[in-house]
Amino acid sequence: MQTIYEKPKTLIDTSTHFCPGCGHGIVLRLIAEIIDAWGIRGKTIGLAPVGCAVLAYNYLDIDMCEAAHGRPPAVATGIKRVHPDNIVFAYQGDGDLAAIGTAEIIHAANRGENITFIFVNNAVYGMTNGQMAPTTLPGQRTATTPAGRDSANYGYPIRICELLAVLDGTSYIERVSLSSPENIRKTKKALEKGFTTQLEKKGFSLIEILSPCPIYWRMDANESMKYIDEDMTRIFPLGVVKDWTQKN
Amino acid sequence: MLTGNAAAAWGVRLANVDYIPAFPVTPQTEIIETLSKWINDGVMDAKFVTMDSEHSMITAAGAASATGARVFTATSSQGLVYGFEMLYTIAGWRVPLVMINVSRGLSSPITLEPDHNDILATRDTGFIQIHCEVCQEVMDSILIAYRLAEDERILLPVLVNMDGFHLSFTREPVELPIIEQVRKFLPAYKPNHAFFKASQPMAQGVAVLGGYAYSYFKYQMHLASKKAIEVYREVSEEFAELFGRTYNTVETYMADDAECLLIMTNSFTTMGKAAIERARARNIKAGLLRLRLVRPFPEADIIRFVKRAKAVAVLDQNISIGKGGIIYSDVASTLYNEKEKPVLLSFISGLGGKNISIEEFEFIFDSLVKAVDKGEISPPQLLYTEAELIEINRLKNIVGKEKHYKFESGD
């Protein structure tokens, strides 16, 4: 009998703390699949954020360090600069990367740090029970915008990919989603490209992943996927924003 | 029945606050969620905006406060220390901002549960600090805090502290005062100083080089903070007359005839009071003193009660790494020049929300009795139960560390 599907060895055999319908488990699994397939488990170092993915080190069987809120780019920089042969990635949510850690990610990008950033955008602060994040859509109801985000008072969703792409230090930036099996396959390809960018020493890469949060979007899993496709992608269009392989 | 967080939100609503910059952090978030809902529902008239971080949030709060608005914000633990530099700045601005800190142990290792290293890290900033035991006290302390902060004799920001989870998420009966009485106690803020408007040129936060001016400003802050003890007494008396609840700078429990006195802060004090009753049942003349005002440090009130005792234990839920308990150090320096003073023992427990067990309280009182009866002075100790040590050893086994701790009474 031939095994055609199995749990990646890098994924620790345990139950998770993620809510039903959450996208984090899918992303962590994709990372684990790549680490297994490429045989890089012994040289990969991951950074866990503050937020829903704070316990990522409980799921990935690699060296991981948990960073203070918004600080993974700085921690990753410290590690990568002294261990350039390790593969270093930071795993961050939108509260971590696009709010409290905005300065950190901009300057890591501007320095062209040879690190892969995995940015999971679910448009809310999930771990603290669904408050407005900078990525929250206009009109979206959250715990701190009960009537929906009014941009006149609360500002507009931050498009991190487009913001960073104007910096000369960035090499590969793509936005993908988890809304369908096809999009999940594209997400895996984008993650592979991000790690390839680092292995080829081409510098800063960031993959933004639009991820469902059914609990704090107050939707079921199907509606969440539809919300990504129909609402989120209007504000956060999918696709490659910058790619070093396509220069010239 | 209100949680500590909801009680805090009620305090803010009753205080008629103008502006609330916010950023979520566990276990504080319920406060800002409650306020944002009230503002959205139109039952509260204030400006509310979520910021990108606690650093920006505290900065915006201080800046708004400097224009003469009544401002509130709330944070916890990592958020408090992330905004740390601004705490010094805002206190130096001499603005009457009121903030809540919901105590939670500092990373790393990361935790969500309470101890007091977060709030005590800010003890030198110039913020006045009120530490609470119960939910009612949280709400009442917000009102008292604005009175202190806005008093012309003080003009310093105030931090009100409560323990995460044990208070923030615990429902207790909370009596809401009628609004007319609140308005009587805390009228609208009409600043004569520390307002910053374009119509009246003044510079704030200017550079002072040479040290003498810098020293002068710091000393003025120190004097204002010391003065706050007297003002606090006036304000709490007025509060007691209007609302029937008394909040002294220190709260005592069976302390009048106590030979063995325990000093604690915040919500675990409730367990300390139960321990006092158990100790009394064992014929130990035990009593408790809870610090409510932690900055300014109410030295005279502490001396008054502590001097009556023969032996005193300070139970710190914090650790100054390389020194020991922070409150112990403060109490010890308070007593140093007293001619007659009791033995002062130091215990640390409850870090990161660790339970303080019945056995641990018993151990503290046994140590105090030994000090009184036999003159045996136990060294400063971090308390653990035997069951907790077994669990630590089990975890060490998992990660392959061989060396185990052996449990010895007094460890």
**Where among B211, B243, B275 does a domain terminate?**
B243
Helix axes B84-93, B54-66, angle to 10 degrees: 0
Q: What is the DSSP string of chain A?
A: --------TTB-SS---PPTT-SHHHHHHHHHHHHHHHT-TTTEEEEE-SSGGGGGGGTB-SEEEE-STT-HHHHHHHHHHH-TTSEEEEEEEHHIIIIITHHHHHHHHHTT-S-EEEEEE-SEETTTTSEE-TTPPTT---SS-TT---HHHH-----HHHHHHTSTTEEEEEEEE-SSHHHHHHHHHHHHHHHHHHHTT--EEEEEEE---HHHHT--HHHHHHHIIIIIHHHS--EEEEEGGG--
In this structure, the number of other CB atoms found within 10 A of the CB of residue A139 comes to 12
Cα Rg of chain A, angstroms: 17
State residue B194's pLDDT score. 62
**How far is the C-alpha of A135 from the C-alpha of A52, rounded, in Å?**
15
In this structure, the number of other CB atoms found within 10 A of the CB of residue B157 comes to 27
Rounded to a whole number of angstroms, the distance from the CA of A138 to the nearest CA of chain B is 14
Residue B108, φ and ψ in degrees, nearest 5 = -110, 165
Does the beta-carbon distance from B37 to A132 stay under 8 Å? no
Q: Domain of B57: which CATH number?
A: 3.40.50.970
Out of A66, A144, A154, the one facing B32 most closely (by C-beta) is A144
**How far is the C-alpha of B14 from the C-alpha of B21, rounded, in Å?**
18
Rounded to a whole number of angstroms, the distance from the CA of B30 to the nearest CA of chain A is 9
Does the beta-carbon distance from A68 to B78 stay under 8 Å? yes
In the numeric block, the tokens 């064992």 are attached to: B282
Q: Are residues B264 and B239 in the same domain?
A: no
Q: Are residues B322 and B376 in the same domain?
A: yes
Q: Are residues B203 and B326 in the same domain?
A: no
Domain for residue A144, yes or no? no
Partner A contacted by B26 (CB < 8 A): yes
Residue A110, φ and ψ in degrees, nearest 5 = -65, -30
Does the structure's ipTM exceed the value 0.90? no
Bridge partners (DSSP) of residue B49 are: B21
- CB B289, CB B305: distance < 8 Å: yes
**Where among B199, B217, B243 does a domain terminate?**
B243
Domain for residue A101, yes or no? yes
**How far is the C-alpha of A111 from the C-alpha of B191, rounded, in Å?**
47
- CB B346, CB B316: distance < 8 Å: yes
**Dihedral sign of CA atoms A107, A111, A112, A118 in order:** negative
Identify the contact set of chain A against chain B, taking CB-CB distances under 8 A.
50, 54, 66, 68-70, 95, 99-100, 102, 125, 127-129, 131-132, 134, 143-147, 153-154
In the numeric block, the tokens 């959205």 are attached to: B40
Q: Are residues B229 and B148 in the same domain?
A: yes
Q: In 3-state terms, what secondary structure has residue B236?
A: helix
Domain for residue B405, yes or no? no
Domain for residue A50, yes or no? yes
Q: Are residues B222 and B281 in the same domain?
A: no
> Which one-letter amino acid corresponds to residue B369?
V
Give the side-chain half-sphere CA count within 13 A for A201: 5
Domain for residue B142, yes or no? yes
Chain A residues touching residue B76 (CB < 8 angstroms): none
State residue B407's pLDDT score. 62
Q: Domain of A164: which CATH number?
A: 3.40.50.970
Partner A contacted by B52 (CB < 8 A): yes
Q: Are residues B134 and B278 in the same domain?
A: no
Mutate to test the interface with B, among A94, A135, A144 (most CBs of B within 10 A): A144
Domain for residue A138, yes or no? no
Q: Where are the alpha helices (DSSP H) in B287-357?
A: 299-306, 326-335
Q: Are residues B76 and B143 in the same domain?
A: yes
Rounded to a whole number of angstroms, the distance from the CA of A18 to the nearest CA of chain B is 17
* Structure letter (DSSP) for residue B353: G
Provide the domain count of chain B.
2
Does the beta-carbon distance from A154 to B108 stay under 8 Å? no
pLDDT tens, per residue, chain B with 411 residues: 999 999 999 999 999 999 999 999 999 999 999 999 999 999 999 999 999 999 999 999 999 999 999 999 999 999 999 999 999 999 999 999 999 999 999 999 999 999 999 999 999 999 999 999 999 999 999 999 999 999 999 999 999 999 999 999 999 999 999 999 999 999 999 988 767 777 777 778 888 988 999 999 999 999 999 999 999 999 999 999 999 999 999 999 999 999 999 999 999 999 999 999 999 999 999 999 999 999 999 999 999 999 999 999 999 999 999 999 999 999 999 999 999 999 999 999 999 999 999 999 999 999 999 999 999 999 999 999 999 999 999 988 888 876 666 665 544
Q: Are residues B220 and B316 in the same domain?
A: no
- CB B191, CB B202: distance < 8 Å: no
Bridge partners (DSSP) of residue A46 are: A64, A89
> Which one-letter amino acid corresponds to residue B9?
A
Chain A residues touching residue B23 (CB < 8 angstroms): 99-100
Count of residues in chain B: 411
Q: Are residues B359 and B225 in the same domain?
A: no
Residue A74, φ and ψ in degrees, nearest 5 = -75, -40
Does the beta-carbon distance from B52 to A68 stay under 8 Å? no
**How far is the C-alpha of A128 from the C-alpha of B28, rounded, in Å?**
9
Q: What is the DSSP string of B373-387?
A: HH---PPPEE---HH
Rounded to a whole number of angstroms, the distance from the CA of B368 to the nearest CA of chain A is 41
* Structural domain boundaries enclosing B273: 251-398
State residue B410's pLDDT score. 46
Distances in Å between the Cα of A124 and the Cα atoms of A32, A95, A226, B123 are 25, 7, 17, 34
* Structure letter (DSSP) for residue B109: S
Strands B19-22 and B250-253: unpaired
**Where among B194, B219, B243 does a domain terminate?**
B243
Does the beta-carbon distance from A146 to B25 stay under 8 Å? no
State residue B402's pLDDT score. 65
Residue A227, φ and ψ in degrees, nearest 5 = -60, -40
Domain for residue B215, yes or no? yes
Chain A residues touching residue B49 (CB < 8 angstroms): 153-154
Between positions 211 and 240 of B, the ones with CB within 8 A of A are: none
Rounded to a whole number of angstroms, the distance from the CA of B168 to the nearest CA of chain A is 14
Chain A residues touching residue B52 (CB < 8 angstroms): 99-100, 102, 134
Chain B residues touching residue A144 (CB < 8 angstroms): 22, 24, 32-33, 36, 48, 50
Does the beta-carbon distance from B52 to A154 stay under 8 Å? no
Residue of B nearest to A50 (CA): B110
Mutate to test the interface with A, among B31, B48, B52, B81 (most CBs of A within 10 A): B52
Out of A70, A131, A147, the one facing B33 most closely (by C-beta) is A131
pLDDT at A56 over 60: yes
Out of B26, B37, B108, the one facing A128 most closely (by C-beta) is B26
Rounded to a whole number of angstroms, the distance from the CA of A26 to the nearest CA of chain B is 25
Domain for residue B75, yes or no? yes
- CB A27, CB A208: distance < 8 Å: no
Q: Domain of B260: which CATH number?
A: 3.40.50.920
Chain B residues touching residue A99 (CB < 8 angstroms): 23, 52-53
Residue of A nearest to B32 (CA): A144
* Structural domain boundaries enclosing A176: 24-126+159-243
Distances in Å between the Cα of B294 and the Cα atoms of B103, B124, B303 are 14, 11, 14
**Dihedral sign of CA atoms B372, B373, B377, B381 in order:** negative
Residue of B nearest to A128 (CA): B26
Strands A124-125 and A131-132: antiparallel
Does the beta-carbon distance from B50 to A132 stay under 8 Å? yes
**How far is the C-alpha of A42 from the C-alpha of A86, rounded, in Å?**
9
**How far is the C-alpha of B90 from the C-alpha of B98, rounded, in Å?**
11
In this structure, the number of other CB atoms found within 10 A of the CB of residue A3 comes to 5
In degrees to the nearest 10, what's the CA dihedral of A128, A131, A135, A137? 150
Does the beta-carbon distance from A131 to B110 stay under 8 Å? no
Domain for residue A152, yes or no? no
Nearest 5°: CA angle at A178, between A175 and A182?
A: 95
**Dihedral sign of CA atoms A53, A146, B102, B127 in order:** positive
State residue A247's pLDDT score. 66
- CB A207, CB A165: distance < 8 Å: no
- CB B333, CB B327: distance < 8 Å: no
Chain B residues touching residue A66 (CB < 8 angstroms): 107-108, 110
Does the beta-carbon distance from B50 to A147 stay under 8 Å? no
Domain for residue B404, yes or no? no
Report pLDDT digits (tens) over A198-213: 999 999 999 999 999 9
- Residues ≥6 apart with Cβ < 8 Å to B90: B58, B59, B61, B62, B65, B97, B157
Domain for residue A11, yes or no? no
Q: Are residues B111 and B226 in the same domain?
A: yes
Give the side-chain half-sphere CA count within 13 A for B156: 30
Out of B48, B52, B110, the one facing A99 most closely (by C-beta) is B52
Provide the domain count of chain A.
1
Chain B residues touching residue A127 (CB < 8 angstroms): 26
Does the beta-carbon distance from A66 to B49 stay under 8 Å? no
> Which one-letter amino acid corresponds to residue B353?
G
Domain for residue A36, yes or no? yes
Does the beta-carbon distance from B49 to A134 stay under 8 Å? no
Does the beta-carbon distance from A154 to B29 stay under 8 Å? no
Q: Are residues B257 and B233 in the same domain?
A: no
Rounded to a whole number of angstroms, the distance from the CA of A146 to the nearest CA of chain B is 6
Partner A contacted by B252 (CB < 8 A): no
Beta strands in B107-239 (DSSP E): 128-131, 158-163
